[in-house]
Amino acid sequence: QVQLVQSGPEVKKPGASVKVSCKASGYTFTSYGITWVRQAPGQGLEWMGWISANNGYTKYAQKVQGRVTMTTDTSTSTAYMELRSLRSDDMAVYYCARVWPTGTFCPDYWGQGTLVTVSS
Amino acid sequence: QSALTQPASVSGSPGQSITISCSGTSSDLGSYDVVTWYQQHPGKAPKLLVYEVNKRPSGLSNRFSGSKSGNTASLTISGLQAEDEADYYCCSFSDSRTLVFGGGTKLTVL
């Protein structure tokens, strides 16, 4: 069965960076993409971007462009999302989710989420 | 990009049917038949309910159904049950080659 298992919670200071991992299993990793979605406390879902696990193509949301980098390691079927220059409004649960390789469809399977706390 | 528009809350009694709307524009929801709906219980990850407007994942109850007309999509839940109480989100692809989500709708089962 398809599973996406994310790394554990993080506590960071403003200005620091965080890197969240997402290990995929149960399907051919390079046949799909991975999208990252975050959810601030009590708020809705916000799309951050996606990466093709086949060719590494990325597309980022304007709001985080320049601060975010999404990568994959096909040898371990793991996707990564790094967010730099953290601010208080970056505090959220970060989800990875599987998408079709074209990136033109909304995700189907989701990871369990990773809470990132930003606090001085 | 702007979020899709959903009502903040809807409610219904057990056994009733409710409909949640999701409004977009001709640059997103109106141009692509990929609108997807998710259910999210507190502290949990979103769960896929409906994809490509009206398709259900294997094994999902047929109480959940989707439709689309123009720039508006709808999710209907029939035979409401207590466990349906959750937040519901819609999602679509957009002309800017990004995904856009609705703001979410809280369903209360009375």
The pLDDT score that the predictor gives to residue A101 is: 82
Pairwise CB contact (< 8 Å): B98 & A106: no
> Is A44 part of the contact surface with chain B (CB cutoff 8 Å)?
yes
Judged by CB atoms within 8 Å, which residues 89-108 of B form the interface with A?
89, 91-93, 97-104
**Distance of residue B92 Cα from the nearest chain A Cα, in angstroms:** 6
Residue A7 confidence (pLDDT) above 90: yes
Q: Across chain A, where does the E strand assignment appear?
A: 3-6, 10-12, 18-25, 33-39, 45-52, 58-60, 68-73, 78-83, 92-99, 114-118
The pLDDT score that the predictor gives to residue A103 is: 78
The pLDDT score that the predictor gives to residue A104 is: 83
Residue appearing with tokens 């953290």? A86
> Is B23 part of the contact surface with chain A (CB cutoff 8 Å)?
no
Tokens found for residue B51 = 């994809």
The pLDDT score that the predictor gives to residue A94 is: 98
Q: How many CB atoms lie within 10 A of CB A66?
A: 10
Tokens found for residue A42 = 């009590």
The pLDDT score that the predictor gives to residue A102 is: 81
**Distance of residue A79 Cα from the nearest chain B Cα, in angstroms:** 18
Higher pLDDT, A35 or B1: A35
CB B1 within 8 A of CB B98: yes
CB A51 within 8 A of CB A66: no
> Which chain B residues have a beta carbon less than 8 Å from that of A103?
97
Q: For A84-99, how does the pLDDT look when each residue is reduced to its tens digit (9 = 90+)?
A: 999 999 999 999 999 9
**Minimum-distance CB partner of A112 among B45, B48, B98:** B45
Q: For B8-64, how does the pLDDT look when each residue is reduced to its tens digit (9 = 90+)?
A: 999 999 999 999 999 999 999 999 999 999 999 999 999 999 999 999 999 999 999
Q: Distance (Å, rounded) from C-alpha B24 to C-alpha B5?
A: 7
Q: For A32-91, how does the pLDDT look when each residue is reduced to its tens digit (9 = 90+)?
A: 999 999 999 999 999 999 999 999 999 999 999 999 999 999 999 999 999 999 999 999
